[in-house]
Chain A
Amino acid sequence: MDLIQRASKIAFNPSTYVNIESSRVESPILFYIIRIENISESRLRQLESWEELEDPNNASVDRVNKHKQGNNTKNNRVIREVDMSDDPLPHNNGSEAQIYRLLLKDCFDNYSYGYEFNDKLQFLRSRNSNGGPLPIVLGSRIIVYQGALILNGVIMLESAKCKFLGTDGVDKGFLDSLNSNIISKYANALRHELHNG
Chain B
Amino acid sequence: MTLDRNDVESIAHLARIAIDEADIPDYARDLSNILDLVDEMAREDTADVLPLAHPLDAVQRLRPDIVTEEDRRALFQAGAPAVENGLYLVPKVIE
A-B complex is real: no
Q: A residues near B, CB below 8 A?
A: none
Q: B residues near A, CB below 8 A?
A: none
